[in-house]
Amino acid sequence: MDKLIVKGGSKLFGEVSVSGAKNAVLPIMTATLIVPGTYKIKNVPFLRDTQTMIKLLEIIGAKVESSNNVLTIDTTKCNNPHAPYELVKTMRASFYVLGPLLARFHHSKVSLPGGCAWGPRPVDFHIKALRQMKVEVTLDKGDIIADGCPFGAKIEFKKKSVGATGNVLMAASKAKGKTVIINASMEPEIVSLGYFLIKLGAKIEGLGTERITIDPIKNENNNFEFDVIPDRIEAGTFMIAVAATGGEVKLNNVESAHLDSIVQHLGELKISTKINDDEILISSSGNYKSIDMETLEYPGFPTDLQAQWMALMIKAKGSSVITENIYHDRFTHISELLRMGADIKLKNNVAHITGVNELFAAPVMCTDIRASAGLVIAALCANGETEISRIYHIDRGYENIENKFSDIGAMIKRV
């Protein structure tokens, strides 16, 4: 199994081109199932998760061609509305096929995703919402069986859910009647999915707000191109890495509006970020003080950058707390950071961190995509050579991570 070997101590200088957003492209890939047609998706990151989604679309009957970050997906002959456990268990985002399959076939069988490395991740909001849309949903041998044409409905989520908002948007795009989503997710990835559905022919208002209305597709458009938005989590990971190591790096292909909360938090550390159209320049001395941070739904600080932020805070001056409000158990990286000399105490969903002067290399293990990115950042700041194992987690969500880091001067290699 591949490992990353990271020798700490280098400041980072140069340029990084940010890839397309994993969490935007995955639902868009499933949305191509809604209307039989041929779609060209551009700026697609080459990741394990996009490869898994290609496999899933092929099982459903789509023809997918992939070349140079462009996917051509032909969904005209799809005939198998089933998502098997073997794929869903490796990638929870497979659950995103539920809404599109229902929209097109009025039937779908999708394996119920299990928990994940950091704890349970339920799908009850998806199921409740579909039932409100008059779809019959049952559980049979670990599969969710959904039957019936979705009807437009007023869906109010008790808590914001990216995935449930996405699934309802997609089911609603071919429902009988208008759907209103209240307390919808406002994440850019949901807005981008909404734009894809609008291109298919749906009439959608309120994207990027808590209230979205969807009038289903009447005149289908089934042959078009679509660009994936830049990955704000990848961009944020590099911004935090440069803040931690020190140096000056320009990120290309960013959507700076999506990075407001990160820019603001780095600003509080007096780390400079200069924005120029789709570029952002980060400069850091590598010395900064501790500040508190809490994860929140967009536009708040993303939970997908919490581990990376923790890697930044473990060597900050002073002490700080990180409150994880989205996934209360998402702290598997702490035990690995402790092995490198961090001083962190966890109480419920709050991590108390006291900055240390030095971090030390140690063998550490990845536990999920973002926790792994946190370990890379800590390793870049540690004395000595850190060996990071189980990096298939990183490969699920970061394209060419070791090349992008070595291009800006990090001593990192895959073995």
**For 212-230, what is the HEC assignment?**
EEEECCCCCCCEEEEECCE
Least separation in angstroms between residue 229's CB and ligand UD1 is 12
Judge contact between 196 and 170, C-beta under 8 A: no
Q: Min. distance of Cβ 87 from ligand UD1 in angstroms?
A: 14
Residue from 116, 149, 366, 381 carrying the catalytic annotation: 116
3-state helix, strand, coil in the chain (%, to 5): 35, 30, 35
The distance of closest approach from Cβ of residue 65 to ligand UD1 in the complex, given in angstroms and rounded to an integer, is 23
Which one, 297 or 336, has the nearer CB to ligand UD1?
A: 297
Which of 162, 170 has the CB closer to ligand UD1?
A: 162
Maximal CA-CA distance, the chain: 62
Cβ of residue 5: shortest distance to ligand UD1, in angstroms? 27
Residue 109 or 126: the one with the smaller Cβ distance to ligand UD1 is 126
Alpha carbons 145 and 283: distance in angstroms, whole number: 51
C-beta closer to ligand UD1: residue 125 or 309: 125
Residues 295 and 298: their CA atoms lie apart, in Å, by 9
- Would you say 190 and 211 are in contact if contact means Cβ atoms under 8 Å apart? no
23: its two tokens:
């969490």
Q: How far from the centroid of its chain's Cα atoms is residue 332's Cα?
A: 17
Mark whether 381 is an active-site residue.
no
Whole-number Å distance between alpha carbons of 82 and 73: 18
Rounded to an integer, what is the distance from CA 47 to the centroid of its chain?
Answer: 12
Residue of closest CB approach to ligand UD1: 163
Give the nearer residue to ligand UD1 in terms of CB position, either 326 or 351.
Answer: 326
CB of 361 to ligand UD1, least distance (A): 29
Closest approach of Cβ 149 to ligand UD1, in Å? 22
Q: Among all chains, which residue has been given the structure tokens 């000595």? A: 384
Non-local (6+) Cβ contacts of 216 within 8 A are 152, 172, 173, 174, 175, 176, 177, 178, 202
Please tell me the distance from the alpha carbon of residue 164 to that of residue 66, in angstroms, as a whole number.
28
Region class of 170: left (phi > 0), else alpha (psi between -120 and 50), else beta: alpha
Binding residues (CB under 6 A) for ligand UD1: these are: 23, 26, 92-93, 121-126, 159, 161-164, 189, 303-304, 326-327
Alpha carbons 413 and 415: distance in angstroms, whole number: 6
**Which residue number, 193 or 202, has a Cβ lying nearer to ligand UD1?**
193
| Cα gap 279→284, rounded to integer Å | 17
Pick 96 or 226: Cβ nearer ligand UD1: 96
Residue 317 burial (CB count, 10 A):
12
CA dihedral sign, ordered 381, 386, 389, 391 = positive
The CB-of-95 to ligand UD1 minimum distance in angstroms stands at 8
- CB closer to ligand UD1 out of 51 and 222: 51
Beta bridge partners of 322: 293, 351
The values of phi and psi at residue 169, to 5°, are -55, -45
* Distance of closest approach, residue 248 Cβ to ligand UD1, in angstroms: 29
- Enzyme catalytic residues: 116
